[in-house]
Structure 1
Amino acid sequence: MNAWTQVRVNRGVAAVLGLLVLSACLLVAAVPKVTQTAYDDALRVAMAGSDPSRADLVVVSKRQSVPQGPLTPAVLLEEDRSFRAALPPELRPVVTAPDTGDSHYVVRKNENPVISVDGQVRSYQYLNLAWTSGAERHVRYVEGRPPGAPGELDGGPLFEVALERRAAEEMRMRVGATVLLGGMQKLAARVSGLFEAAGPDSGYWRHNDALRRVMKVRKPGADTDDWYATGLVADAALPELGALYSNTTYRWVLGVDGPSVTTLRAPELVEAVRTFRGAVPVVLEGSSPGALDTALDSLLQEHLTRLRVAESLLLFVVAGLFTVALGVIALAVRLLAERMRHALVLMRARGASLARIAATTTGAVAAVAVPAGVAGYALSYALPGPLTLLVHLGPLAVVAATALLAAGQALAHRWPRTDQREDVATSRPSPRRITAEAAVVVLALAGTYLLRQRGLTTQTDERGFDPFLILVPAGLTLAVALIVLRCYPYPLRLAVRLAARLRPAVPFLGLTLAARARPAATLSVLILLPALAVAVFGAVVSGGLATTQQTSAWQQVGARARLDSALPITPEIVERIRRVPGVREVVTATRTVSLLRTDLQRVVVLAVDTRAYRDLLRAGPLTLPDAPVLVSPDLADRGPIELLGPSPRALTPGGIVTGLPRVYGGAPLVIAPPDGSPVNTVFLDGDDLDPRPLLAAVNLQDTQVTTLDGVLSGIAGAPFTATIERAFTVVTFALAGYALAAVLVALVTGGADRTGALSHLRALGLSTAQARRLTVLEISPMIVLTALAGLLLGLALPAVLGPGVDLSSYTGGLAVEVYPADLTTPVLLTVGLAVAAVLGAFVYAALGRPSGERRRPT
């Protein structure tokens, strides 16, 4: 029998099968590409937001003796080339060329105390001397000129230096000023010019931040900060600078090109960085001690850990999607085999072997599935993303599974078949089938227990994800579907007894047909219930993520907006803040760091009016006990607290506060009444609070504004979080479409038997309208009961599986413990899908020919 002939004859069913295979292949190829792109975006965000010492490869060396020969840029460039030659092959493509990108090298003489400036004695000031390659491209002179060659003053070298304009103003060093420096060697410097940073956000300035600002450091036991400024010297001064071997640091920055670092490369890059770390001392041997100063391997390892968690969660949900997709494809294959049944029965009667029957069904299905699979695979190339192995193997696996399902249909022709009426009596399941179903239920329960005990996302960085645990949700939904499949005829039989007492015959007949469900209808239960359960689960988890993200943002800000300043905030500034548009309430506070007298533990002390602060928090999830002195849980059992510092205090806690310690990094927190100290923190409540007007109202340096909306958008907009949210959305819509298709395919599959039954009833006087209502009533109980079971299972899955799933990576570090009680979205999703399925049955009954031909009684 020609396979294409069967496809042409049953072209409607073939088109449905082809569409299902195409969509499944598109999903299985596109989802890995899209998610891989999101993973790469997350890695780029992590690298761009990290400190340069973490993202770039920095070789640091401290000279212990005068180098051989004069130090020149050519000598440093040659050493840079030696480091690059030692790079492992995996690192070379991601490292930028010398003096391009972030790559450069630096020589800096540190710890040079300022003795005097133009004859005026200075204390607590230091002027470091630095040379950097390519500095002329990164500075813009606003006064004076670039530094030149060094001279001599009182028998020591006199370096010409350029200072950043604001740093020079803070250090009170003008152009032309002569600075005498102390230390082991006699030094002097003359300010030749002032500059500003060109491209201040570049990686160059992130590595050389000391060049553009005054660093203030308080040494242990000191009462005053030491001020450090750094002056830039010329290329001509490099030989003299190299001769100052005391406290001289050499740095070669091998910049890493962030966009070229991808998630697929990350594992090999981690090993390559570790190999290079061991090679650096070998390269430096004989010249000076040094080491590789980078955390690129740690940064990539952190990303891989989050990646494995994200992959586990995505597989957790997508496994259910692919299970449902293959189930619908199985329904469509069964429908095509039913349409070919008479031809196959005739072939079997004429002596065709079972292998011949299998080849015929497989050929007809493959004639549709292969082109559809190729089309779905080709369409996936329209989406951006790298081509992974799963992109190629996924569609192939779908087509192969479809072919196996087609070959399995030949088992129905092991013995000669006769026309049967599956609607007359229900078939009894075989002992083998009952055993298989019981095994599925037992494995699902065991997997659920293991998932709760071991966790889905724990130890994924060391061992990877567990395939068995990944399949637990799909197995659990399948187990519940099997239980519903075995149990749902019993309430229907009770309804049949009640309907038998009614005068109309349609309810009795419809419920009777529903209770005697055909195999296609029972298979649709196995698809509809998991689809609804996973979709509802995704909706509930999305709601839980949104709620927890909101709570996490409140815990990180402590109000709708928080303003922190290193300088005192005066009452005049507070009044200006009150007049900023959108501000409704203002609560001032003083944040300090103190020590406990008992064990010298470091604690954060927030001096604030607790009552006013409690009123400001009334619109959020944070609450404060009604007491003037509060402590975090880690200080709850200490009793009275004595604080050391400039203003010692003895406090008696009156309550415990949770959540707020995260505002200050999770350190132990003490909330106490104001003690008259200068205000440095302001909590704000209002609408649409913009940081820019608030900063303008404060007008103080080193002031930072943190808003609730900004933190929340950062949490929700993170690439990993956005990927999970998009995955839930896509999976929900796809599952809804597959569930609806399953119901419609089941209706069409049982169309022939239904037509035969209705033909007999039409001969007994059943009208066309009654026949259509009978068709809808036959399918509706199965849809309603399955939808209700899917809704309940979807609502229970977060509570059942929640302890084993760590979602803190998507909520700003806060564990998801409470899922919202709002059932609007899950109920609307379930009702919408059930109504759509029932309407599909109604349209099928109204537009099709379910009534059959009216037969004449014999």
Structure 2
Amino acid sequence: MNAVQLVRRTAAAHASVPLALGLLVVLVALAATAWPRLLAGVGDRQVTHEVARAGPLSRDVVAVVPGAWPRPPAPADGAGLPADVAAVHAGNLAFLDRVRAEQPEPLRSILGDPHLTVETGRVRIAAAPEGVVGSPEVTLKVDPLLGEQVELTAGAWPAAPTVVQPFDDLTQEQYRDLTVGEVADRRARADAATGALEVVLAEAAAQTLEWPVGSERTVPGTGVPLRLTGTFRPVDPDAPFWAHNPHSASAHVVDDLDRGTSAVASAYLDPAWDGALPVGFPVGTVSTRVWFPVAGDAVAADQVDTTSAQLRSLVAADVPWAGTGATLALSTDLPDVLEQVRAQQRTTATVLAVVAAGPVGVVLAVFWLGARLVTSRRRTALGLVAGRGGTGPQLRAALALEGLVVGLPAAAVGALLAVRLVPGTLTAGDLVVPLLVGLVPAVALAAAPLPGGLPERRADVGRTRARLRVGTECAVLALAAVGVVLVLGRDPAASTSAGVDPLVAAVPLLLALAACVLVLRVYPWPLRAVERVLHRRRDLPLFLGAARAVREPTGGLVPAAALVVGVGVAVFSTVLTSTLAHAVESTAWRSLGADIRVSGPIVTPELAARVAAVDGVGDVARLADAGRVHLTGAGDSRRVALVAVDARAMRGVQAGAVGVPPVPVGLAGADGGRLPALIATAVGVAPGQDGLRVAVGDGVDLAVVAVADAVGGARVVDDAAVVVDAATLEELTGTALRPRVLLVDVADGVDPEVVRERVRAAVPGARTESLADATATYFDAPTTAGTAQALRVAVGLSALLVVVALVLTQMLAAPRRAGVLAVLRALGTEPRGSRHVVAWELAPLALAALVAGALLGVAVPAVVLGALDVGALTGGAAPSRPVLDPLLLGAVGAGLLVVTAGAVVASTSISSRADVAARLRLGEDG
């Protein structure tokens, strides 16, 4: 039998481990191929989510040209409009189409078909007799494409007005010679010849204005009335079109206690109207509004940076309006939205890179253990081949070939499964990672240590690389320390890339390696102490187990790294999950200020009492916005938002608040004529600072009882808020407050959504927001949901890899362990003593790795959290420190402990049943 045949027969005889490696390759290739496809899907969904949530007024590209109605020449094709309409609007639409066509991709495809409207100022019209609306107003509007958005529900479309001008037949000298009576007579005859201007209204607006179809409304200051010829209904009331036309689908109604009820609606003229109006018609100015709609799903995740740059370039330059003297100054908030998306992409990519790096490290460690196990099982055959003249390169080439046979087909299967299971676009780059995964077994087998001959060598004898090990360990510890220092001094807003932050992603790996170094260096110390104690006892198995754990630790660095990193990733993922959840809940509390927030109508004491009586409501507190006031003191003056609350009730409502400081006890009641105040940190006031005064009434001095970084429920744009007790403010200044916000606490054990519906029924027409909805908004965002899902997967995958690492470690040590146990059994040791030896083999390292991994999992979030813009994911301020959930951490820790203990117990039970005679016959050959 030649050497090749021997290696081939040996491989066939020990096929279980290569098959297990092949299965591992399938799983890793599947995950490696699916991971970027999943991330791309999450990125696309997040961009769509944020752009759609921004709303049309923020994301669309808009321009408003006040006081002008540009009239460029119409193209020959009339832009597809009727001839009379094309004469007025086709030139503008063609010009806007050219503006869009001149933009580079992808911006050109992102911009939708342009829209254009022309609108006058508000025109006061006569109110309906005994009508509810005492001050009705309309704006006259023209939209050449209105018919695409509405359907006529009554009457007919208006006809284009024919306006007769009273002085067109006169020269300037003749006009100056007219008497006042002649001017009035000419205007009256011109108005009569013009007749009424025909308009259409939305059906809902006509009902609000109490304006029947076919009737006329006079316009003060002119003899030309408005006639309503028809009403329309939006084809899609939720279409983005109506955001740009806020008074078109329905009238805007304002109820004022002093001025009564007023309403304004948009009345549409025929689109062929040329802009001429009767002399003296009170329309004020005319403005032209154009916009390019941007669909919520128009921007792809990989186009965020390019689109943002192109948009900023577009809005930075004024575009000359062809054929006119006007310019088109476009604006949009979409670049800011995309900048927020980029921050989310950067944070998500870095977090997921940190999470993924751990399992990748454990997988590599598992592959290395598997390769060592293969060479260990082939030790006898490889030794014989080496004895017959086989060189090291030949042996490694044979092992590498076996790794290729196992790895490449398995990687292809894993990649194919990923492509079939996870939707997405397949590119050549997507196949690079699974190809590398397929090469890992070959590299690991080729790099695994080969035996020098038949006898095995003790791992603790002949260590010639001690100095190299010390130098390497010192370098790892130094790199970890430098990385921590750099990350702690990192500003998360400093990075402009949308990709992974390499420094933040690398530091957890460096910390993991440093933890492994410390474990291997530190854990033998207590074991040596235990060994010395057991040396004086008569129990041989216990002493032997402790001695072997010190002198010949199972597996060395690789299994220690696998255990430490696996446990660290599980704990890190758990801590980050609870930190994100706490940050989201804190953001929601800061915005709402209570379990339920009711806003809109004036909250009278009777209304507050009615809500408090709702079943399931605990406490209620009124909140009033007292406006912006001047805060003076220490030679400085600034405007702040004054918020008045019921301090005592507020403490009850926010008793269980997350991330919101409690309302101070001293906020209620005057302090020697001074007004106690809780001041936001953004104001820049120190606690207890004297000499502060707010300009309310005749002015009142403040007593600063507390300074807080957030005021729950205040909703102040710049966070510069001063919170005072409402009763004390009224007592000291005589100010009459009109609170429009009611904060509602839900009683313990009651479903908040049920209570919300009851409150909504008690206060019809009010806006009700719940804490559950606010948190769900953030948790349902694709990046937040995807990150949370990835963290949960990382916990499960880490536990699985820990099990695999433990099993391979035990299998790797099985031959030597079996020999030791056989000798012990031959010397008369009981099976229980054999189990002690096996337990000592793995338990100390596993216990040390569990402790180190747990500490690593808590330390990594503490280090990297400040360098991650987590606020981009949570919608608020980034958490400054990790949040430890004892229940969640306890469950994960207990699971890992059970997994580790199970592996030790199973290995102990199996090894204690070793065949004594067979092992003694094999002797040192294993």
**Please, what TM-score do these two structures have when normalized by structure 1?**
0.89
User: Which amino acid letter does the alignment assign opposite residue 524 of structure 2?
Assistant: P
Question: Whose radius of gyration is greater, 1 or 2?
Answer: 2
Residue of structure 2 in register with 1:584 after alignment: 618
What is the Cα deviation at residue 783 of structure 1? 1.0
Report whether the alignment pairs 1:127 with 2:141.
Answer: no
User: Which amino acid letter does the alignment assign opposite residue 523 of structure 1?
Assistant: V
Q: Aligned to 1:683, what secondary structure does the other structure show?
A: strand
What is the Cα deviation at residue 636 of structure 1? 3.3
Residue of structure 2 in register with 1:671 after alignment: 724
Residue of structure 2 in register with 1:618 after alignment: 655
What is the Cα deviation at residue 684 of structure 1? 0.9
Within a 5 Å distance, the mapping from 1:581-660 to structure 2 comes to 581-596=615-630, 598=632, 601-621=638-658, 622-627=661-666, 628=668, 629-632=676-679, 633=681, 634=683, 636-637=685-686, 639=690, 642-644=693-695, 649-658=699-708, 659-660=710-711
With 718-727 and 670-679 compared, the bigger mean Cα shift is at 670-679
CA distance in 2, matches of 1:776, 1:367: 36
CA distance in 2, matches of 1:136, 1:580: 48
What is the Cα deviation at residue 641 of structure 1? 5.1
Residue of structure 2 in register with 1:346 after alignment: 384
Residue of structure 2 in register with 1:100 after alignment: none
1:684 is aligned, of 710, 721, 744, to 744
User: Which amino acid letter does the alignment assign opposite residue 729 of structure 1?
Assistant: R
Report whether the alignment pairs 1:699 with 2:764.
Answer: yes
With 65-74 and 615-624 compared, the bigger mean Cα shift is at 65-74
CA distance in 1, matches of 2:147, 2:852: 71
Report whether the alignment pairs 1:332 with 2:370.
Answer: yes
5+ residue gaps in structure 2?
75-83, 164-190, 669-675, 731-735
Change (3 A) 1:591 1:470: same
What is the Cα deviation at residue 357 of structure 1? 2.0
Identity within the alignment, %: 25
Residue pair 1:539, 1:728 contacting (<8 A) in 2 also:
yes
CA distance in 1, matches of 2:612, 2:507: 55
Change (3 A) 1:180 1:800: same
2:107 is aligned, of 91, 101, 109, to 91
**Over residues 90-127 of structure 1, what are the superposed CA-to-partner deviations in whole Å (9 max), with x where a residue is unaligned?**
2344344xxxxxx4522222214326569999998653
Change (3 A) 1:821 1:74: closer
Residue pair 1:535, 1:731 contacting (<8 A) in 2 also:
yes
**Over residues 154-178 of structure 1, what are the superposed CA-to-partner deviations in whole Å (9 max), with x where a residue is unaligned?**
4658432222344445556444454
Equivalent residue pairs, number: 840
2:900 is aligned, of 834, 837, 843, to 837
CA distance in 1, matches of 2:508, 2:148: 57
User: Which amino acid letter does the alignment assign opposite residue 547 of structure 1?
Assistant: H
Within a 5 Å distance, the mapping from 1:200-279 to structure 2 comes to 200-214=237-251, 228-237=264-273, 247-274=285-312, 276-277=314-315
Q: Aligned to 2:594, what secondary structure does the other structure show?
A: coil
Residue pair 2:545, 2:840 contacting (<8 A) in 1 also:
yes
CA distance in 2, matches of 1:190, 1:278: 43
User: Which amino acid letter does the alignment assign opposite residue 679 of structure 1?
Assistant: P
**Over residues 248-294 of structure 1, what are the superposed CA-to-partner deviations in whole Å (9 max), with x where a residue is unaligned?**
44444333333342101222322343455478715636463213232
Within a 5 Å distance, the mapping from 1:65-464 to structure 2 comes to 67-68=72-73, 71-72=87-88, 74-96=90-112, 103=113, 105-114=115-124, 126-141=137-152, 143-152=154-163, 153-154=191-192, 158-168=196-206, 170-171=208-209, 173-179=211-217, 189-214=226-251, 228-237=264-273, 247-274=285-312, 276-277=314-315, 281=319, 284=322, 286=324, 288-381=326-419, 382-387=421-426, 391-409=430-448, 412=450, 416-422=452-458, 427=463, 429-455=465-491, 457-461=492-496
Residue pair 1:114, 1:127 contacting (<8 A) in 2 also:
yes
What is the Cα deviation at residue 136 of structure 1? 3.2
Residue pair 2:200, 2:231 contacting (<8 A) in 1 also:
yes
Change (3 A) 1:467 1:104: closer
CA distance in 2, matches of 1:120, 1:180: 16
Residue pair 1:758, 1:852 contacting (<8 A) in 2 also:
no
**Over residues 118-145 of structure 1, what are the superposed CA-to-partner deviations in whole Å (9 max), with x where a residue is unaligned?**
9999998653222234433433555544
**Over residues 445-473 of structure 1, what are the superposed CA-to-partner deviations in whole Å (9 max), with x where a residue is unaligned?**
11011111125x33222586442331111
Change (3 A) 1:50 1:469: closer
Change (3 A) 1:429 1:550: same
2:788 is aligned, of 725, 728, 733, to 725
CA distance in 2, matches of 1:790, 1:741: 17
User: Which amino acid letter does the alignment assign opposite residue 148 of structure 1?
Assistant: A
Residue of structure 1 in register with 2:589 after alignment: 554
What is the Cα deviation at residue 851 of structure 1? 2.7
Residue pair 1:109, 1:241 contacting (<8 A) in 2 also:
no
**Over residues 428-452 of structure 1, what are the superposed CA-to-partner deviations in whole Å (9 max), with x where a residue is unaligned?**
6432232122211110111011111
CA distance in 1, matches of 2:714, 2:649: 18
CA distance in 1, matches of 2:39, 2:560: 31
User: Which amino acid letter does the alignment assign opposite residue 702 of structure 2?
Assistant: T
Residue pair 2:504, 2:867 contacting (<8 A) in 1 also:
no
What is the Cα deviation at residue 704 of structure 1? 1.9
CA distance in 1, matches of 2:98, 2:840: 81
Residue pair 1:373, 1:399 contacting (<8 A) in 2 also:
yes
Residue pair 1:603, 1:670 contacting (<8 A) in 2 also:
no
Q: Aligned to 1:316, what secondary structure does the other structure show?
A: helix
**Over residues 481-516 of structure 1, what are the superposed CA-to-partner deviations in whole Å (9 max), with x where a residue is unaligned?**
112112222211211222233333221122222222
CA distance in 2, matches of 1:133, 1:4: 82
Q: Aligned to 1:149, what secondary structure does the other structure show?
A: coil
CA distance in 2, matches of 1:832, 1:438: 33
Change (3 A) 1:510 1:168: same
**Please, what TM-score do these two structures have when normalized by structure 2?**
0.82
With 139-148 and 191-200 compared, the bigger mean Cα shift is at 139-148
Change (3 A) 1:74 1:348: same
User: Which amino acid letter does the alignment assign opposite residue 430 of structure 1?
Assistant: A
CA distance in 2, matches of 1:841, 1:597: 68
Residue of structure 1 in register with 2:909 after alignment: 846
User: Which amino acid letter does the alignment assign opposite residue 696 of structure 1?
Assistant: A
CA distance in 1, matches of 2:22, 2:278: 74
Q: Aligned to 2:723, what secondary structure does the other structure show?
A: strand
Within a 5 Å distance, the mapping from 1:743-754 to structure 2 comes to 743-754=806-817
User: Which amino acid letter does the alignment assign opposite residue 685 of structure 1?
Assistant: D
What is the Cα deviation at residue 707 of structure 1? 1.6
